[in-house]
Structure 1
Amino acid sequence: MIVDFHTHIFPPRFNEYREEYVARDPLFARIYAKPNAKIASCEDLIAIMDEEGIDRSVILNANWSSLELCQETNDHIMESISRYPDRLVGFCSLPPKAEEAAIAELERCVRGGIRGIGEMRPDFHGLERGDEAVMDTIFEVALRHRLILLVHASEPVGHEYVGKQKITPDVLEKLINRFPDMTIVCAHWGGGLPFYALMPEVAEALKNVFFDSSASPYLYRPEIFRHVAEIVGVEKILFGSDYPVMPPSRVMKQLLSLDMGEETEALILGGNARRLLGL
């Protein structure tokens, strides 16, 4: 089984009325204001899964500044996983500063079959260092329901790009230590966090932490798979594409070019995700 742990979809009307949603939400506008920024539908995702041999995909929500847009897009994700229960796993979006309303929305999403929260970008929600307490209640509810948290991450060095923001390895490490029992997936290789696991105290903190390979060809040479496997263990790596930013096959090609062995490849491409999601 091949599982893509990092994909994004939107309701079809988001493409049709892109300018309206760009005007409504500054966070959406930062990434999708340009007409060439692809907005994929559920049907687009299923089509490329069939074309490229992907058995299941985790669909992540975006980061919305309003509760209303979170609810609208969460509804679409819950509808999608109900239509394709054997193909799709859904995560939801929450505006943390909505407090009680965010908790109510999380409970609603759990009832709708949601398995996690993400892709979360605390910097997009106006949360800075020291604001972790805002998340305490949300994470308590998430822990009770055994939800997974998937957090966007960026590198503190290197080239600039639209998604490069403030959630760097030092910020992630503080979040992980604050919530040690939370299962956390750090997107985009955690902005390089696995390399800090050469420090014993960081390695100890990563016991419930995983790393996905989303958009890897934009960021790293193929050897990133081998190096992360050597440092934190192959069981910590989740295959993810960041579709529609790129097709799953592009990331898969990077992994398979290394000839790491069938057993290792099988774990990265789906075995680890199956265990984490209980598939």
Structure 2
Amino acid sequence: MIIDFHIHSTNRYDILKEMDKAGVNIGVVVTIDADPNDIYIKEISTKFRRRFSNSQNIFYGWGSRFICSLGKQASIEDWIRNFMYEAALTYPGIAIGNEELSKFIKLNSKRLIGFGSVNPNKPIHYIEEKLKEIKDQDLRGIKLIPTIQFFNPSENRNINRIFEFCERNRLIILYHTGCDPGPFEVPELSEDANPKYLHKVLDKYSNVKLVLAHIGSYSAVRPGIWFNEALNIMKKHDNVYADISAVTDILYNDGMVKKIRETVGFEKILFGSDYPVVDGRDILAEVENVKKSILKDHEKEQVLGLNALEILR
């Protein structure tokens, strides 16, 4: 049994073909509810300007030159907004509505599971509308992505409502942790996706099953950036798991594998491919990465499907 816990809704009519090629039995397909123009909200804009100006990593100079190339009126906000629009064009369908996702899932309901999305930055009436959609469409979970949804779970006014809804309706949260492509490779701009900010809400909602996408580790600049923070929160909260989408290479790192074993065990780790947004790698390549890794055979079985099967019950 192989379950891919992290497939994007772009290229969705190729998903089953890719799953078949990789020997995947069940796939969790997610959409993203994000508004590029939210970057212009005053408090968000101010936060990102401050973080970018304080950035000391290698992307700072490149990012500044990129912004200048956009024209005299260009800004960090323009850089982020334009990147998000370009990403939507590169991956058409990555941000379809909850209802459209549900229609697709119902065409293949024996093998596909849908996770909707809601943007925590929006007004409460918008939040309620999206939550109702997710429930009415029989979606099994919610995808949250603090980088491009521009929220911090320790500060956002709507996050408690979303968690309360998931707890009451037994929905799973797939929660992005680590950096993201484009401007969000600047670690300071992805700071809100540090798993440590989840402690407050998880202390309150201990029955919500939450999966830390990328186990806090995706970063081109600092690989494994918040790996330790992810393990800490998984150790403290029994209801928190992690997927290894976009970071299956950590299964070849002796130190990281040992730390997972000693801290939380591989019964808390799920396979995810992040298909098709990991450049040059399809679902099969990600499955093979797990199969050829240094994990013990029973750990590979846990990661590839047994753990996800238990969570989805």
Indicate the TM-score class for this superposition, using the shorter chain for normalisation.
0.7 to 0.9
CA distance in 2, matches of 1:269, 1:79: 27
Match of 1:261 among 296, 299, 309: 296
Gaps of 5+ in 1: 11-39
Q: 2:214 aligns with which of 178, 181, 188?
A: 188
Deviations 1:110-166 (A, max 9, x none): 221200000x123433324642332112221111101011111116xxxx8435422
Amino acid at match of 1:240: G
- 1:202-221 to 2 correspondence within 5 Å? 202=233, 204-217=235-248, 220=250
User: In terms of Rg, which structure is larger?
Assistant: 2
Matched residue, 1:5: 5
Contact 1:186 1:209 in 2 (8 A): yes
Partner AA of 2:195 in structure 1? P
Following superposition, the deviation at residue 71 of structure 1 comes to 9.1
Q: Would you say the 8 A contact 1:8–1:60 is kept in 2?
A: yes
Q: How many residues align?
A: 238
Residues 32 and 95, structure 2, Cα contact 8 Å, conserved in 1: no
Match of 2:167 among 126, 140, 143: 143
Query: Partners in 1 of 2:283 and 2:241 — Cα distance?
Result: 19
Inter-partner Cα distance in structure 2 for 1:56 and 1:260:
22
Cα distance in 1 for residues equivalent to 2:178 and 2:231: 19
Q: What TM-score, normalized by structure 2, do the two folds share?
A: 0.68
1:111 aligns with 2:136: yes
Q: 1:58 aligns with which of 5, 28, 50?
A: 28
Is 2:286 the partner of 1:251? yes
Q: Say whether the 8 Å CA contact 1:216–1:251 is kept in structure 2.
A: no
CA distance 1:73–1:79, shift in 2 (3 Å): same
Q: What's 1:222 paired with?
A: 252
Q: CA deviation at 1:221?
A: 5.8
Q: What amino acid is aligned across from residue 239 of structure 1 in structure 2?
A: F
Q: Distance in 2 between matches of 1:184 and 1:83?
A: 26
Whole-angstrom CA distance in 1 between matches of 2:235 and 2:284: 33
Deviates more, 1:161-170 or 1:261-270: 161-170
TM-score for both structures, normalised by structure 1? 0.75
1:49 equivalent in alignment to 2:19 = yes
Give the secondary structure class of the aligned counterpart of 1:133.
coil
Conserved 8 A contact 2:214-2:247: yes
Indicate which of 96, 100, 106 corresponds to 1:76.
100
Per-residue displacement from partner, 1:215-240 (whole Å, max 9, x unpaired)? 015x6462345542332111100000
Q: Give the distance between the partners of 2:95 and 2:147, measured in 1 at CA.
A: 20
Aligned residue for 1:252, secondary structure, equals helix
Identity %: 29
Question: Amino acid of the residue matched to residue 3 of structure 1?
Answer: I
| Structure 2 unaligned spans of 5+ | 37-92, 218-223
Match of 2:272 among 233, 240, 250: 240
